[in-house]
Structure 1
Amino acid sequence: MELLKLVVFISIIGTSVGFLPNPFSAININDYTHTDITEIGILKAVAKFFEQHPVQQCKPCTPGSLTGLPDITARKLYDTYYGGQESEKRFQEAIDDIVKQNNKVDQDHFSEAAWHFNGEQIKEGNAKMQNLRDTVIQILNNTAPNYDAAREVVGQYLHLLQMFYSNTNWVEMSGSVLYRPLGITGQPIMAAAPPSVDTCRSCGPTLNTNCASNLIVPHNFLTSSYKSGQDISKPMKDPSTHNTGKCSHGGPRDTSAVTSAAVGGINKDSMDPGYSPHAHLHEKAAEAAIEHTRLFFEDPMTGLRTVVGDDKFQDLLQIRAGKSLVFVIDTTGSMGKDIAAVQNKTAEIVRETQGTANAPYNYILVTFNDPGNLTTVQKTKNPDDIQNWLGAIVVHGGDDCPEFSLTGIQAASTVAMPNSDVFVFTDATPKDPQKINYITSLITEKKLRVQFLVTGTCTKRRNAYYAINGNTRGHFYRLKI
């Protein structure tokens, strides 16, 4: 078992070309890893959101009370904000998904310098960031966003963002000040040093030599470290006859750091000088990466929350609390004699919860008809809105018996919060039974309670059901799934 752990550890270190992936791969116990940087940055972004949207349980909930939490964790943030009444489980799962995709870049793109801002691929790395940011905004702006796909892209984007601070000379020039144009489409960035410009001087023949002052690049240029084994090779200069050259990444797994001038390196991945020639700047690089990770989500001008809105920000990070109260209603013509009873029953359900401790976070009304593309979804936090929408329902169409009830349930399950109640009103068998497995999986995953009310199946079978059970039109029976 110990040998296996050692092999896994060496494998992780060998595929890392920037901040180390997680605490298990850290060289120094105080190292900031991609996991730490990503998690802290997200937690601070959500803490700021919570401060701006206080709840009764949060005491006090003033500026700095949450963003200033020492050693912040998802559990500590939720306990402070919700008074221990809500679980952070889904929020932590969203963080873990993003962290996983961040770390996966090291595995999938280890040899591609641009994915790590290595090899002076400044322009190329920035272009990847711009493309990823535009992609995640496009995903989230869809009518039905794929939040899993969005979290995957966010993880990749954050990997590149964090690599910029570890592998380029920005921190050496500016400390922990953020480079705000990075990754924003339409924002120009500084140029990389031309091939003819040497950027580093040799700082000694051994890995542990102090390299704190080895950068010689002019201040109007960005540069970054070259690492052996990647698709952009360091320009070769004989270290026995040349003292200057392009900067290496450095560390025990970068042969370019000793075979080509300038000898040494500039990476800031760890506090250990044997691994990171610029170990003295590790904390500043990590601070900048954490702060920029936070601002990726909540910058008032370019942050994801600003661009896509609070609702999608909350759904992306799975931080909504409370439940949805969802009504899925068949509006085909055959419901004509039942619709008044349906409206009365739904209004009663809303009144039962309104203003109580069980009041939902939001109300959702889904109506479905024939064809399935007539399905509509309306969401509100105002109980008066849902009452008005319910009262305005008009039945029409749907001449045959089977209807698109599963399409309606799918639409409801997609937008409903976890652990929600979903009430389905229909008088027909489903016309779209092929969706049952997917919908069952979705309902199970989100732990929805789905209840069918009213009717039965088509006319003959429905009349038989009433005859057997003594029901009359306008009375409801419930079937839970």
Structure 2
Amino acid sequence: MTVLALMLITSVLIVKSCAFKATLSQGDDPAMYTHESITLNGVDRAAAKFLTSTGQFNTTKTDHDDIVREYFGTDTKGYHEYQNRAHQFATAVMNVYKVQKNNPDYTVNSERIRDADAVVKSTRLEIAAILSEGRLSDASVGQLIDKVGTCLMVLQSFYSNTNWVEMMVNGGESFLNFGTLTPFNLSVAESGTDTCRNCDDRFANGCKNNLLVHDRLTSGYLYGQLYYPKPVANPRATEGKCSHGGPDDTGKNNTATGGINKETPDWTRSPHAHLHNMAGLTAVRATESFFMDKVTGLLKDVSRDVVQEIFKLNRTERQVPYLGLALDISASMVTDISSLKHEIVGILSAVMGTDNAPGKYVLSTFAGQANLTNVVTTTDPNEFIRLLNGLTFVPKTSCPTYVMSGIRAAIKACTPHSTVYVATDVDAKDNNLMSTVMEEATEKHISLKFLLTGSCS
């Protein structure tokens, strides 16, 4: 990690907490949601959704991280560039956190919810102007990332600091109208409306039921921010505007005492810590939707090439498919091998010296004993033919052979999108592995083609 990166993280860590924490610090729960982890997770989900929903990449995987990893495959350089881009987005969010920590228009405190929505809307219009350029220069991409950082900082803070999560019946659904170019369609508590009752944050769950409003949005007031102090309540009153809460909020001792923030899973810092995980997951989903929602997403009408550049989804290494042959070397195959060789040579001749030439040639041999399954690979097609000519056939000890084991060995040795030819004249002794073979072939997008089949009967 560079000295500059360390200085940035250190400077972020000393900022008092005003939303989700910027990044993990020593002693924190590693499972805690932070602006950094929410952004990285959200970008992963958005990238995976782009790849699968646009037909760029077909996969049986469902986990977003698995999808992106499979997409890059052995292209470690391309995957590293993608990860760097995701961290650039996260750094942009943390930079906004550092600069705007005292402005509730960015942290969505002090019931500045419509104002925060306006910040995102106006920034999205600036991003739209950048995207209208078509192909983006490096400078334009940098500007876009910084402006996305502003949007995501506000968007994610919405779920930490407002009562949206508490209002949800089932939980986990993002409020897609917030920060989009569509009208803001939820009520916000008026200045004279009490939104919280006093609660005792010295005890776990002491503020669990302190909210008074459940049909409109509110957020807590944080001491030291702009637009503080919160509206003054009668000193003897037990109800008033919500506090943000936590050890950095010295105003939490004024009515309404306690707070409603969900920024950590630690009740000593977050009066609504019991909802931290729900708030974090919802912020992740909102981050994904910010980019890729089919109705409100920032990139929904942007060309594929530009989206790929924004996320750095350009593979730097072409994964060349292999050609595999899973061959039964039982003695009964001796009479068939001559015609098989002729067919295989024809297949090789059709691709040798062309753009479709395999990266490697894989020969997987099998017979009636499990320990006879063997795999050899070569980059030389002539060597592959010599291997075929030099085969030693095994006397048949039983009719069924380990066909599925031979196919699995070939699949394992091949890259995704390869073709594996299969030749045997008998049944499979390990037919119980058929479903596994099909799953593994499908997962790697490997085509199985049978040159010869047969049965023991």
Paired residue for 1:151?
Answer: 145
Question: 1:111, CA displacement in angstroms?
Answer: 1.2
| CA-to-aligned-CA distance 1:375-430 (integer Å, 9 cap, x gap) | xxxxxxxxxxxxxxxxxxxxxxxxxxxxxxxxxxxxxxxxxxxxxxxxxxxxxxxx
State the partner residue of 2:112: 121
Q: Does 1:313 align with 2:307?
A: yes
- Return the alpha-carbon distance in structure 1 between the equivalents of residues 12 and 300 of structure 2: 39
For residues 193 and 98 of structure 1, do their structure 2 counterparts lie closer, same or farther at Cα, with a shift above 3 Å needed?
same
**Structure 1 range deviating more: 157-166 or 26-35:** 26-35
Aligned residues: 312
1:285 and 2:276 matched: no
| Deviation, structure 1 residue 234 | 3.4
- The 1-side partners of 2:298 and 2:110 are apart by 29
CA distance in structure 2 between the partners assigned to 1:22 and 1:92 by the alignment? 17
TM-score, normalization by structure 1: 0.60
Q: CA separation of 1:216/1:127 partners in 2, compared to 1, >3 Å: closer, same or farther? A: same
- The alignment partner of 1:304 has SS state of coil
1:103 and 2:94 aligned: yes
Instruction: Choose from 212, 219, 232 the match for 1:224.
Output: 219
**Could you tell me which residue of structure 2 aligns to residue 234 of structure 1?**
229
For 1:278 and 1:108, locate their aligned partners in 2 and report how far apart those are by CA, in whole Å: 26
Secondary structure at the residue paired with 2:186?
coil
Q: CA deviation at 1:28?
A: 3.0
Once the two structures are superposed, the pairs formed by residues 180-259 of structure 1 within 5 Å of their partners are 180-204=176-200, 206=202, 210-219=206-215, 221-237=216-232, 241-258=236-253
User: Which residue is equivalent to 1:442?
Assistant: none
Provide the rounded CA distance (Å) in 1 between the counterparts of 2:85 and 2:206: 40
Q: Which amino acid aligns with 1:217?
A: V
Q: Please tell me the root mean square deviation across aligned C-alpha atoms, in Å.
A: 2.7
Aligned to 1:81: 71
CA distance in 2: counterparts of 1:322 and 1:267, whole angstroms: 43
Match of 2:122 in 1: 131
Measure, in 1, the Cα distance between the counterparts of 2:97 and 2:192. 30
Q: Aligned equivalents of 1:106 and 1:25: distance in 2?
A: 19
Residue correspondence of structure 1 range 55-74 to structure 2 within 5 A: 61-62=59-60, 65=61, 67-68=62-63, 72=65
- 1:306-455 → structure 2 map (5 Å cutoff): 306-322=300-316
Deviation, 1:48, is 2.0
- Amino acid paired to 2:73: G
Please give the alpha-carbon distance, in whole angstroms, between the structure 1 residues aligned to 2:18 and 2:28: 14
Match of 1:31 in 2: 32
Name the CA distance, whole Å, in 2 between partners of 1:10 and 1:242: 40
Q: After alignment, is 312-321 or 139-148 more displaced? A: 139-148
Residues 199, 246 of structure 1: 8 Å contact kept: yes
Larger radius of gyration: 2
Q: Distance in 2 between matches of 1:322 and 1:207?
A: 54
Give 1:142's aligned amino acid.
Answer: E
Looking at structure 2, the residues matched to 353 and 158 of structure 1 have their Cα atoms a distance apart, in angstroms, of 47
Deviations 1:8-36 (A, max 9, x none): 87972533310111122674332111111
The residue number in structure 2 matching 1:380 is none
1:282–1:30 CA distance, 2 compared to 1 (3 A): same
Output the CA distance in 2 between the equivalents of 1:161 and 1:11: 19
Letter in 2 for 1:61: T
Give SS of 1:17's match: coil
1:164 corresponds to: 158
- 4+ runs deviating over 6 angstroms: 8-11
Q: Partners in 1 of 2:293 and 2:71 — Cα distance?
A: 22
- SS where residue 320 of structure 1 aligns? coil
Structure 2 match to 1:112: 103
Say whether residues 1:16 and 2:14 are aligned partners.
Answer: no
Matched, 1:267 2:261: yes
Q: Aligned with 2:178: secondary structure?
A: coil
**Structure 2 Cα separation of the partners of residues 241 and 199 of structure 1:** 16
Quote how far apart the aligned CAs of 1:125 are: 0.1
Are 2:245 and 2:261, in contact at CA under 8 Å, matched by a contact in 1?
yes
Question: Structure 1 residues 122, 300: CA separation in 2 closer, same or farther (over 3 Å shift)?
Answer: same
Give the letter for the 1:285 counterpart.
A
Rate the CA distance shift 1:217–1:77 in 2: closer, same or farther, 3 A.
same
Distance, in Å, in 2 between the alignment partners of 1:234 and 1:214 is 20
CA distance in 2, matches of 1:10, 1:279: 25
SS in 1 for 2:299: helix
The structural deviation recorded for 1:171 is 0.3
Q: Using the alignment, how far apart are the partners of 1:79 and 1:190 within structure 2?
A: 39
Cα 1:205–1:43 shift into 2, 3 Å: closer
SS of residue matched to 1:150: helix
In structure 2, the residue corresponding to 1:306 is in which secondary structure? coil
AA at the equivalent of 2:162: T
1:287-309 Cα deviation digits (max 9, x unpaired): 11001111111111121221222
1:245-280, CA deviations, whole angstroms, 9 ceiling, x for partnerless residues?
A: 10111000001111x100000000000000000000
Q: Secondary structure at the match of 2:301?
A: helix
How far apart are the structure 2 equivalents of 1:26 and 1:158? 26
Query: 1:144, 1:54 → 2: CA distance?
Result: 21
